[in-house]
Every structure is written in structure tokens, then in C-alpha cells.
Structure 1
């Protein structure tokens, strides 16, 4: 029997500090991606490097979808729970439009659009992505961070100026493998981009520092004033749908803390 995925060491905890609000107490399981936007089914889970480089590593058996026990009940149920509808509606609309697109319905310029409410959508997406981390973070009180503190306060509704510090990108993600990652950096021809991502069918979501992002050519930038999500459905950039976990070319490098990443795929 092969070695069990490293993710197992970073998933077991009962109480600790919530990675969103910082309160100490019992922690609850958060589905990532949120259960409102994906089918809950048995999944296998590894770290990203294990998924891409080793078939010998035995994955974690996630019987009811992938969960992270890193946030308190209030942040999970009252904050993210009240916002999840803002993810559910546009994602369901987008999936229905994809079916029409594949059936031959014409969309102008191969771009599919769907209305959404930008701020609650972003708060929910950011909150679930923050939850997708190692339980090691929960063992100590939260520290101020140039990257994470504005995001946490944004999810809590305390930061109205998230665009002063961060940029958000998204694109069509056609894969069934669900990817979450934090503490990841992508070096491209002299430029270093620090980022976090949450990819699940049919959307890839990326967070970067403001004006420092590296992202796929077909990605769209998401702002708090947007009224619609726009997805470019052209297939010319398929190698980059899982960015930053993409083939490296030329003067490129990708750095990650593997235990803060997760790749999950349906059990056959």
C-alpha cells in the first residue's frame, strides 16, 4: 500500500482559531467549492503536487465532497451561508448557457455572460477560498498580513475598499478536478505574482495583489461594479485553465507551499 496523501496531516482538528474572524472555539466543516455550486459526491483528494506527479500516493477518501474544518460556525453558517445564493444563481445560469453553447446556440464572439451581484459573490468566493487551507493555521492566533487581512475583513463586511489592495480574475474552467491553493507564487520573465485560486467546473477564480497579477490570456478581471460575468469559451488556451498549475516555458517558475493546496477529483 502506498503512502497516504500529506493532506491528511492538515485536515484533522476539532477546535482552533477561525481563519476568517480569528475567534477560538469549535470549528465547522466548510464545503469547498461551496455545495450550492457543485454536486456533492464522493471525491479523492491529494495535494496539488501529489496529484500531478505521483500515482503512488493514496488519496484521502472524501465521502461527501471536499471539506475544510477551518472556520467557526458563525462564519460558515451565518456569513458564508447568507452569501452562497449569490454564487449559486450565476453558476447555475452559466451551466445552462454552456449546454446551449455546446448544442450549437450562437453567442456573440464566443462569449457567454450571466448577471450577478458582484460584492456578495466576491465575499462568498473569497470566504470559501480562505477556508481551503491547512489546519496548522488554526492552531495559533491570526496575525496581520498584507495579503490576508484585507481579504478576511472583506468577507466579514468590514472592508469596503478591497480593490485598493487586491485584484480578482476568473475564466471558464472545463475540468472536473477541483483545485484550491494558497501561498502560491508564479514567476514569469522577471515578474513575481503572489496568488490564491479556487477552480471548479465551470469557473476558475484567482486572487492577486493589486496591479501585480499574472493570469491566463482569456481571463476576465472582476470588479465590484460589474453587473455580469463574461466567459470567453474559445478553446485556444486549454493548457492554462488550471493556472498557476500550468506547463512552464522559458523564464518561468512556480513556487508553492504544497500542504496549502488541494486537488480533488470524483471517485470512479
Structure 2
């Protein structure tokens, strides 16, 4: 398995979202302005899952990809969608860190359309190689069109992710384990960082997770209350690593990153 993760292309190249040949900029995941990851150690996620003691790739300012033009990075994601997903992450994170007694379900008011567009936009950015899969073509159109409804046949699910690391996985196939559709394979992309994880799939349901896209029925600026369930916490490698699951993918599908551990010098 190759020991690499591709984070950038030429300084002037095709933008992963608008497909125009322009000066490319660095897109940060998670987006800047929300939960901050500074110095991190990064691995090819498949290599990290199956091998031990592999060499990491350092980064002084988080996980980032040079794959977006300035307009898509700053004017589109940065100005329109990232403030909403960042505010949502901050609100949930602050609640989890509070000393209050936390109920099984809490509700937060947010703009779900803009969160979904942010998730899909950053997943598009998180690819060193330009992709023209049916999924990516649909997601590009949705992110670029302010008023477009969620592409038919795709769902975004979410759950609490109380772990201080980042996991990004793209275009992999996984089997549905439980329920009426048990045994059916679906296509997935995954974005997990403190405090929420997002799972994009072509399946109608997945393991009882809450669906974010069901709230995307109105204009992007419409606020709605969505539930956050704290009574069904998943471990940090769920659902991609499971004794009862089968995962089909290539070698270079994403990134695992965690904050750099600093050694304390002894006097």
C-alpha cells in the first residue's frame, strides 16, 4: 500500500468544484473559523487502519487541500456555508463541554441546507485527483446552485463525534448491517471531526442515524431545529471499522489526522 496522501495540485489547475482552470487556494477541513486544529499528524486512512507504525505527514495548520479556486473557497464555501457549519459545531461543542446535566436528546436551531452544502463542498475539495463520478457531478451542481434541492437519491446522516481527530473517507462501498435493508451495499463518503460526524450515502437509511437532508426542504437561509442524540454514542472508527461489516475501496481514499503530541523536555 502506498505511503502517501495527495493534498495539492499545481498552483494553477482545475478547481474541484467549478471545474475552471484558475489559481488554486488551500481549503481547510474542518473549515477555518470553527473548531481549530493547528499542528497535526496525517496518515493515508486505509494505511492507518490496517498497518502499525506507519510514517505520518506533518502539517502546521491542520488538514488542507490545494484544490479550490479563490471564488469557490472564499466567496462560496467561506462566505455562504462555512459560517453556519462552524456555528453549529461551536454550539454543540460548547454544550458538550458544559457542566450541565446533558439530556438524551438536545435540539439546536441552524440552517441545515447550508450545513449540507458545506459538507459536500469540503468533501469535493478533499480530493487530490479530480473526480467525475456520478456522485461528484451531482454534488458540484448542488453546491454551486444556491436554490437547488438535494440531489435525488443521496442522503446525509449525522451523529455526535466527541473525539479530537479528523477522519475523511471518499467514495467507498459498505454493507448495511442491520434492519430491513441488511446486506445491501451502498456508496459512502465520510467526514468526521469534533463534535459532529457526517455520512453521505445513496441508501435511504443507515443504522438508525438521524438524517440531515430531511430538513433541507426550504430556502438555504431557513432555520430549523434539529435533534442531537447523546444516548447512542459511537466509537471513533464506526462505521468504517466493524466486525460485521465489509468495506470495499481503493488505497488512497482519505485522511486520518490527529493533533501533534509535543514531548515535554526534562531538565
Q: TM-score, with normalisation over the residues of structure 2?
A: 0.85
Match in the other structure for 1:166: 154
Give the 5 Å matches for 1:3-152.
5-7=3-5, 10-14=6-10, 15-82=12-79, 83-100=81-98, 103-107=99-103, 110-133=104-127, 135-137=128-130, 143=132, 145-152=133-140
Displacement of 1:40 in angstroms is 3.1
Deviating runs (4+, > 6 A) in structure 1?
none
Which is helix-richer, 1 or 2?
1
Q: Distance in 1 between matches of 2:129 and 2:151?
A: 29
Structure 2 unaligned residues grouped into runs of 5+: 177-181, 218-222, 262-267
Match in the other structure for 1:221: 211
Deviation string for 1:101-129 (max 9, x for gaps)?
A: xx24242xx11221101112211121112
Q: TM-score, with normalisation over the residues of structure 1?
A: 0.84
User: Does residue 201 of structure 1 match 2:206?
Assistant: no
Structure 1 residues 56, 230: CA separation in 2 closer, same or farther (over 3 Å shift)?
same
Q: What's the C-alpha RMSD, in Å, of the aligned pairs?
A: 2.1
Deviation string for 1:21-72 (max 9, x for gaps)?
A: 1111221110011122211310011111222222332110011111011111
Q: Distance in 2 between matches of 1:191 and 1:159?
A: 32
Q: 1:263 aligns with which of 236, 256, 265?
A: 256
Structure 1 unaligned residues grouped into runs of 5+: none
Q: Distance in 2 between matches of 1:215 and 1:266?
A: 30
SS in 1 for 2:118: helix
